[in-house]
């Protein structure tokens, strides 16, 4: 067994010190020990309040490493993944169709997880059907629309559970699925058969079973594409996409998100221009208004969302790249309220981090907001339990 690093020891101590008490943690952060009696000639001294486990976790990270924890990047294989984790301490790696599968089939992830004291999220978009990266390794998963048309919800849960267990055995920890878009598009359209149904209730039913299966398998699911791509005007891989107005989304596309924000799944925000919500030329993935809608819940009748908000790919989809480069896109997304910026290559990571450090130093990127995002990511990937 590998000897624990200093940072892991510190983080472990943080969890014990900050989380072992059954008292309310807000009291831990604000109360101080009662002062001992003193004479009139003696200055009053109080004992500082003990650090919470959240503060211990944050204080163990340098500012640049905090920002790196908010980045998830696509990798080509083991060497690329080890390099970006060991040098830049990114919070997640993404396995795409271009990734050498020996990363997951030949022990590559063991090297990646050992490359930094905080193991990265190992992410993938294993939806089933035509969006599947591991079918040749662990077997096929049916497309969402096919599953909803041919299986009962419980049958689908069992199939998804077996798939999730196989994914977890390979070392996958986060799945950017299920797709909870509501769509009646042809099967081969951009969403198409990736959607369970054009009925929001049916989408909710089958997505609930997928989420339950992933959780039971030890994989964190992420629902997408908020606030709803199913009735969008085109393909955000190829250019801007406009959805119906927000008022129309309320009764259709937003319903599954409203139903599922409390499920424990993360949420991915799409590159979607939404009349009545986003500003012109500012898609939801970089829009403060869209992030606030999701986070607060009030604007669409949902509970507040306290989990991590992921962007869709910021580096390989024309809905973003036609508007700005990756350095600006990542900064804009995090400033808007995203917790994790996702893109599909590693070469820009140093420039992205340099820019984020400057943005946080100047106050453009709020340090407290960064801290909250770091904590959300840490809880989601299981490195913080308080």
The catalytic site residues sit at: 237, 312
Report H helices in the chain: 6-19, 25-30, 53-59, 63-68, 78-88, 102-105, 108-113, 135-138, 144-150, 153-170, 200-217, 246-249, 255-260, 288-296, 318-321, 326-336, 349-362, 367-381
What is residue 33's DSSP assignment?
B
CB 191 within 8 A of CB 127: no
CB 144 within 8 A of CB 127: yes
Rounded distance, CA 122 to CA 120, Å?
6
Q: What strands, in cross-sheet order, belong to the sheet with 71-74?
A: 309-311, 266-269, 220-226, 174-175, 121-124, 92-95, 71-74, 341-343
Maximum pairwise Cα distance, the chain: 84
CB 262 within 8 A of CB 340: no
Nearest to 117 by CA among 65, 74, 49: 65
> Residues, the chain, total?
386
Torsion, Cα of 187, 192, 195, 198 (10° steps): -90
3-state secondary structure of 273: strand
């Amino acid at each position: 067994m590998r000897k624990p690093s200093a940072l892991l020891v510190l983080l472990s101590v943080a969890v014990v010190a900050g989380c072992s008490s059954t008292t309310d943690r807000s009291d831990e952060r604000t109360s101080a020990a009662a002062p001992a009696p003193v004479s009139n000639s003696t200055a009053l001294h109080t004992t500082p309040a003990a650090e919470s486990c959240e503060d211990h976790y944050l204080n163990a990270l340098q500012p640049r490493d905090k920002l790196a924890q908010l980045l998830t990047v696509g990798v080509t294989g083991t060497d690329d993944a080890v390099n970006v984790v060991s040098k830049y301490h990114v919070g997640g790696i993404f396995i795409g169709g271009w990734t050498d599968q020996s990363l997951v089939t030949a022990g590559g992830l063991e090297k990646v997880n050992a490359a930094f004291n905080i193991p990265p999220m190992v992410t993938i978009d294993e939806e089933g059907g035509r969006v599947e990266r591991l079918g040749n390794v662990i077997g096929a998963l049916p497309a969402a629309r096919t599953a909803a048309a041919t299986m009962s919800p419980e049958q689908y849960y069992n199939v998804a559970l077996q798939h999730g267990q196989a994914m977890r055995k390979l070392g996958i920890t986060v799945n950017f699925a299920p797709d909870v878009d509501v769509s009646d598009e042809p099967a081969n359209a951009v969403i198409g058969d990736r959607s369970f149904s054009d009925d929001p209730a049916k989408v909710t039913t089958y997505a609930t079973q997928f989420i339950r299966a992933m959780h039971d398998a030890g994989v964190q699911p992420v629902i997408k594409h908020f606030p709803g791509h199913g009735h969008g005007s085109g393909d955000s891989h190829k250019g801007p996409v406009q959805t119906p107005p927000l008022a129309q989304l309320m009764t259709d596309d937003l319903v599954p998100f409203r139903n599922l924000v409390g499920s424990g799944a993360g949420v991915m925000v799409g590159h979607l221009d939404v009349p009545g919500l986003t500003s012109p030329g500012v898609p939801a993935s970089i829009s403060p208004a869209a992030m606030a809608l999701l986070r607060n819940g009030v604007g669409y009748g949902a509970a507040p969302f306290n989990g991590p908000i992921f962007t869709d790919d910021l580096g390989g989809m024309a809905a973003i790249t036609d508007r700005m480069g990756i350095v600006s896109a990542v900064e804009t997304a995090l400033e808007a309220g995203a917790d994790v910026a996702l893109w599909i290559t590693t070469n820009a990571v140093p420039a992205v981090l340099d820019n984020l450090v400057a943005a946080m130093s100047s106050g453009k990127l709020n340090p407290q907001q960064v801290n909250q995002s770091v904590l959300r990511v840490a809880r989601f990937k299981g490195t913080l339990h308080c």
